[in-house]
Amino acid sequence: MKVAIVGAGFTGLSVAYKLTKEKITVDIFEKEKSLGGLASSFSLPNWQNPLEKHYHHWFTNDSHALDLIKELGLEQDLIFPKTTTSIYYQGNSYPFNSPLDLLNFHPLKLSSRVRTGVILLYLKILPKVWAIELEKFTAYYWLEKWFGKQSFEILWQPLLLGKFGALASKINMAWFWARIKKRTMRLGYLHGGYQKLIDSMAHEINQNGGKFFLSTSFDSNHVSKYDKVIVTAPTDYFLNTFRNFPVEYKRRLSQIPHLHALNFVMITKKKFLDRVYWLNINENNFPFIGVIQQTNMIDCSSYGNQHITWVANYLPPNHPYLKMTPDMLYKTYLPFLKKINKDFDFQGSIINCYTFLGKFAQPVFPVHYSRVKPDFITPFDNVYLANMDMVYPWDRGTNYAIELGYEVAKMVTRES
Ligand SMILES: Cc1cc2nc3c(=O)[nH]c(=O)nc-3n(C[C@H](O)[C@H](O)[C@H](O)COP(=O)(O)OP(=O)(O)OC[C@H]3O[C@@H](n4cnc5c(N)ncnc54)[C@H](O)[C@@H]3O)c2cc1C
């Protein structure tokens, strides 16, 4: 059997890893010149390690990713350092890592803090079989009803608005549940970055006979050369590349909105955030949603003693920021970055800035999403689809990309 895999992100790599282990002939097509998709990296000459274009970490319960790291003998490089997550609200930064932090979160009145803690605990212990029922509610409705107006308006609404903009009120509560359920206090990273895991998977795939075709966009003319084709690229690509879809199938999949991720990376001499790794912006008028200080997770010696800050954004495909140069984006963000750290010497400290765009990086899950969620099986014989629109209710992540890749590989192997 000869299989084509479209896309060499974590899903495509995981399919290839499993199939080549089974001695199945695999060709992997990747339109970019490097592997890793949304989890790919870049590097600078004086750095010891590459850096993800978009911030990445694992949770302690990301079992598929952690098992794979062990299987590939990279366990000694895996770390779960102590990091701080905070909330930026009305000019102040509040730690938000533990129940104690919530209790000390003074913008909420005490009764609201207690109520928030109880509901968070409820969501944390609610099992998936029941939580999926929450998809019939919008997160807006459910959060305001159960957390109360104050907690909704200060804690949750700004996060939903920041991430989903005009689509925020459409997000379903099962997705929100998954975010709370999944989150762990410790966050993990690999010395050498995600690239180390990607390289290790690619090495195994090559050793087992898999072939990579980089800078090669797969198109429907390639299909006839293979017994099976597994598409791991975004749904949008699938719908625009393959022809003659049944009308209803195309209509169903076209309904899934996606946002692009835009990350602005500042390389600086000094840290922008003093101690905080992850700063959520809980302000409705900021032009970005979070600031992540990588060098509060990983020592700056990995990056030639330079410091790394991502300024994070998710935007609809037609948003003007997506066309901005790093310089234009810097000018747009600067007044707001100054609010976060008014003492930071931007002129003296900034070495360079980059922007990275992750297309179709965030599917948007409205109420009753499970009715439109795509399947592996497509209308075409021997063509399968496996991408991040399917990991629902979980939010997309490399852990689920690995799990998805294994599942579709199992299905294809069974059918061969
Ligand atoms: C801002 C951001 C932060 C994130 N943070 C985390 C995190 O902290 N932890 C975590 O685990 N995950 C995180 N993720 C999610 C994680 O990166 C993704 O879930 C995962 O990488 C998805 O892998 P994938 O293979 O399904 O998709 P992708 O990575 O999108 O891979 C699809 C591949 O298909 C290729 N492709 C598209 N069209 C074609 C074509 N015509 N021919 C050939 N190839 C094609 C693309 O170039 C791409 O390489 C984050 C993502 C973003 C955007």
DSSP letter for each residue of 370-387: GGT---SB-SSTTEEE--
The C-alpha angle with vertex 230 and arms to 228 and 236, in degrees rounded to 5, equals: 135
Residues in a beta bridge with 66: none
Looking at the fold, whether 148 and 221 belong to one and the same domain comes out as: no
Tell me what the pLDDT averaged over the chain comes to.
97
Alpha-carbon dihedral sign for residues 27, 28, 30, 33: negative
pLDDT of residue 294: 98
- Choose one of 141, 166, 184: the last residue of a domain: 184
**CB contact at 8 A, 213 and 81:** no
Q: What is the rounded average pLDDT of the residues 279-293?
A: 96
Percent of the chain clearing pLDDT 90 (strictly above):
97
Residue 243 is predicted with a pLDDT of 85
Domains held by the chain: number: 2
Residues 197 and 176 in one domain: no
Are residues 249 and 381 located together in one domain of the fold?
yes
Q: Compute the distance between CA of residue 298 and CA of residue 305 in angstroms, rounded to an integer.
A: 11
Say whether both 106 and 131 belong to one domain. yes
Last residue of a domain, one of 184, 215, 244: 184
pLDDT tens digit sequence for 311-335:
999 999 999 999 999 999 999 999 9
Q: Domain limits at 199?
A: 2-50+192-256+369-415
CATH of the domain at 218: 3.50.50.60
Residues 169 and 124 occupy one common structural domain: yes
For the chain, what percentages of helix, strand and coil (3-state, to nearest 5) are there? 45, 20, 35
pLDDT tens digits for range 63-91: 999 999 999 999 999 999 999 999 999 99
Of 126, 149, 184, the one marking the end of a domain is 184
* 404 is a domain residue: yes
Pair 129, 203 in one domain = no
131 part of a folded domain:
yes
Inform me whether the pLDDT recorded for 210 exceeds 90: yes
Q: For residue 416, what pLDDT is reported?
A: 75
Mode of pairing for the β-strands spanning 350-363 and 258-268 = antiparallel
Asked if pLDDT for residue 204 goes beyond 90, the answer is yes
User: Do 216 and 199 share a structural domain?
Assistant: yes
Residue-level pLDDT at 382: 94
Find the residues whose C-beta lies inside 6 A of ligand 1.
6-12, 29-32, 37-39, 54-58, 217-218, 232-233, 237, 261, 263, 358, 361, 387-388, 396-399, 401
Whether residues 244 and 380 share a domain: the answer is: yes
H or E segment and range at residue 44: none
- Return the exposure string of 110-144: e unless at least 16 CB atoms fall within 10 Å of the residue's CB, then b: eebbebbeebbeebeeeeeeebbebbebbbbebbb
Evaluate whether residue 278 is within a structural domain: no
Report if residue 376 sits inside a domain: yes
Backbone angles phi, psi at 267, to 5 degrees: -100, 120
Q: Is the pLDDT of residue 348 over 80?
A: yes
Both 115 and 248 in one domain: the answer is no
315, 396, 403, 408: residue to mutate for ligand 1 pocket, most atoms within 8 A of CB: 396
Q: Is residue 152 part of a domain?
A: yes
- Expressed in angstroms and rounded, the spacing between residue 55 Cα and the centre of ligand 1 is 12
| pLDDT of amino acid 221 | 86
- Same domain, residue pair 32 and 174: no
Same-domain pairing of 198 and 129: no
Question: Residue 233 half-sphere exposure, CB side, CA atoms within 13 Å?
Answer: 23
Answer yes or no: do 111 and 172 share one domain.
yes
Residue 57 region by backbone torsions, left for phi larger than 0, else alpha for psi between -120 and 50, else beta? beta
Residues 6+ apart with CB under 8 A from 137: 172, 173, 367
pTM to 2 decimal places: 0.97
